[in-house]
Copies of this chain bind each other. A is one copy, B any other.
Amino acid sequence: MTADRTQPEAGSARLDEEQDAYRDALAERLAGFLDDQSAAMARISDDVAPLMGAITGLVTGGKRLRALLCYWGWRGAGGRQLGAEAVQAGAALELFQAAALIHDDIIDRSDIRRGGPSVHRRFGTLHRERGWALDEERFGTAAAILTGDLCLSFSEEAFTAIGPAAAAGTSARRIFNTMRAEVMAGQYLDILEEVAGPSRSRSEAVNAAANVIRYKSAKYSTEHPLGIGGALAGADESLLAAYSRFSLPLGEAFQLRDDVLGVFGDPQTTGKPAGDDLREGKRTVLVAFALERATSEGAALLERSLGQQELGDDDVERLRDVISSSGALDATENLIDGLSERAFEALDALRLPDDIRGALRSLGLSAVQRAA
């Protein structure tokens, strides 16, 4: 008998406690790591403090999805409660995510991140407030490129500090390497679709968008963090493959949810301006479905509007109408449901202690049902 998947399981209070304790240990580890790095930076010059401030700001917030998946992957493979390796790996994943966000926000010209200014905007503001010479925007971008590079280095430094379980030649290291290369390749495919998409046929668009999702997001946000946790605890290839059967469709559903929120989300909840994905010209699965299914006028309007920075709220509203009335929103929601179903079925089939399965289920549900 399959349990009701929307309900928490027995023993979940104890697990919530364990998860909270992990979050605390993770926050402490990140703070300790960044304190040490800030002290080293201060020996170079006090002027570099804003780089550390930007990184610290980014890793202080967030849903911790990747670190938590890593933790439960570790526990599911027999790792001990609050094991240092899993805490350290979580810190590395959070730093990697921060690095990716910093560069992503430059690439996508996003001014807002989690309700506050993105890193390039923070540096732009610093430039203006100090009355510095030359161009504010260029300085902001340059400083954010360097901050992202620094954060990417920190992520790897934190990962290596795990020690022997993540040394050269281990599965955990192999997954970490694959994760980094795939997310960068996936991000490139994403920006490539923005510029090359208009000249491709509409029937290719959904497949192209699905490939972007897999590499840019699903493998990196869910599959690899879970796998790294498992590998650190000694999971064999068969357990890692079973983890992937759960986490890969989950990650795809997670990113599709993100794409829906990027067009239909409430700015108050998402912390990002409404319709930002449309202004940036993101050719998501949602948009690809709409191009395929809308009336020819609707599709033409959408095609013309994608990537236009100056779209106003009214334009965004009109595009939302095109997308919903074409059936693209329903098609995307159906896809999310189907992928979630597959993910949770695979989770049921995983040979795991019930309480750990329950923790992964709650985490999975929060990833695909979220509003922010």
Contacts and interface: CB of A to CB of B under 8 A. Distances in A.
A341 interface: no
Interface string A176-202: 011011101111110110111111000
Contacts of A47: 188-189, 192
Number of copies: 2
Nearest to A41: B185
A51 to B, nearest CB: 6
Nearest to A151: B184
Given A153-B181, A195-B132, A145 B45 contact: no
Contacts of A133: 194-199, 281, 307
A369 B196 CA distance: 47
A44 B182 contact: yes
Contact of A146 (B177, B187, B197): B187
Interface stretch (A12-20, A22-30, A156-164, A263-271): A156-164
Contacts of A173: 160
A168 B163 CA distance: 6
Interface string A137-168: 00100110111111011101100111110111
Contact of A106 (B145, B156, B161): B145
Interface of A: 37, 40-41, 44-45, 47-48, 51, 99, 103, 106-107, 127, 130-134, 139, 142-143, 145-150, 152-154, 156-157, 160-164, 166-169, 173, 177-178, 180-182, 184-189, 191-192, 194-199, 211, 215, 281, 307
